[in-house]
Structure 1
Amino acid sequence: MSPLSVRGGPSSSLKRWLKSPAARWTLYFVALCPAAWWFWLGAQNRLGADPVRAFEEFLGLWAYRFLLASLLITPLRIAFSINLIVYRRVLGLLCFSYAVMHVLAYLALDLRFDFRIFGDDITKRPFLVFGMLTLLCLSPLALTSTNGAIRRLGRNWKKLHRLAYVALVTASVHFLMAFKTWHTDAALFVAFGMFLLIFRGVRSFQNPKRRRVA
């Protein structure tokens, strides 16, 4: 038997740690470091000719990445028996955190907290409309991510958290519309998001009982 397979050995200790709250907090801390680093680069005027736009796009991209990562948890478990369910909540909260920072950067750095312009923008500029719809979808998911909220909502918690797929659609539209020309990387990210959406749809169609319970 391999030493790493012995009960209580290094492998067992690592697995226990990976499932612990400490591992999740570590992930949250590490995942927020890029935002802090880019903020510092911006403060040092090292983000290029348009630092505000670069910072906003960076935050938005990471919000979208974490949304995709959170929705990838179930396909990984079903297709490859890789169970990372303990990290789904953290990934969802990271998505929300970066989305909030994305909006705050736009509001603070672009508009200088001019809420009149902000109100006009989010109602008249289509790509911003989809961006705010995404934030509206993510907000109740973040607010109901606690154990207490899960207990209180019961089965309704799963129904509410289907909003993540609505957020995926609105975020994808926002992401694509943010670029004035064809952007290959954005298209690839959105294509992967659509794959996750189709996977969910096929899974629900194949398991109608599961759909009624969820």
Structure 2
Amino acid sequence: MQRANLFLRRIPEWAVWLAGALPLALLVYDTLNGGLGVDPVRDIEHRLGRTALYFLIATLAVTPIRKLFRINATHLRRALGLLSFSYACLHLASWIVFNMGLLWQQMLKDVVKRPYLVFGMLAFVALLLLALTSNRFSIRRLGRNWLRLHRLIYPAAILACLHWLWALKLWTGWPLFCASVILVLLGVRLPAVGRAIKNYQVKSA
């Protein structure tokens, strides 16, 4: 545990951003070199959306890992969350530009007609609020309300997962596994589970 914590403390925030840019770099490479499938627009959208969800899961995992295993990566959580939002922005932008062709009226009609788009938009709004307040000024200005506001990450994760599953229409092993991970990470935060973890840690100390 101590070695893991020492290693994590040495990781600067810029290194997380650099590693977080790798999926985008790979997507650009595949796009330029014909490495996408028969529907490149769909592949671009889906890969950006999946990456946003993966970073959201990583952000959610920081606190449970600290509580369960006493491995502290709290100083990296902000970068992980902002990476999730960045990929969500790219996912939304690719849908608006490539899929909708900047036809705003058609876009609004699609959002109303397709429930999974509503889930996605709600998740994006929640991530937007979190990103805008992920700074020291907001923490000082909002006080305790900052913690309440940042609990939006929980419904955002659920909505984003529902958006993904509903858009797929065919639920396979990997999406269901990701959904299960999100449920476990949220379940760890339940009061009863939290008390059980604390009791276990006291006994094992």
Letter matched to residue 185 of structure 2: L
Structure 1 segments (4+ residues) deviating >3 Å: 14-17, 202-207
Rate the CA distance shift 1:121–1:82 in 2: closer, same or farther, 3 A.
Answer: same
**Equivalent pairs, count:** 193
Q: Take 1:16 and 1:157, find their aligned partners in 2: how far apart are those partners?
A: 25
Q: How far did 1:72 drift? A: 0.5
- Equivalence for 1:169: 158
Matched, 1:78 2:71: no
Corresponding position of 2:42: 53
- 1:132-160 superposed Cα distances (whole Å, 9 cap, x missing partner): 01001111100000111111111111000
8 A contact 1:39–1:55 mirrored in 2: no
Kindly provide the amino acid, as one letter, of the partner of residue 141 in structure 1.
L
Taking structure 1 as the reference length, the TM-score comes to 0.84
- Superimposed CA distance per residue, residues 115-173 of structure 1 (whole angstroms, 9 cap, x where no aligned partner): 11111111220111100010011111000001111111111110000000010111121
| Unaligned ranges ≥5, structure 2 | 197-205
TM-score, length of structure 2 as denominator length: 0.87
Identity value in percent: 38
Work out whether 1:32 is the aligned partner of 2:32.
Answer: no
Letter in 1 for 2:57: L
Structural RMSD (CA): 2.1
Of the three residues 70, 78, 96, the one matched with 2:85 is: 96
- Summarize the Cα distance change of 1:82–1:92 in structure 2 as closer, same or farther, 3 Å threshold: same
Residue identity opposite 1:155 in structure 2: R
- Specify the SS of the correspondent of 1:200: coil
Structure 1: which 5+ residue stretches go unaligned? 6-10, 208-214
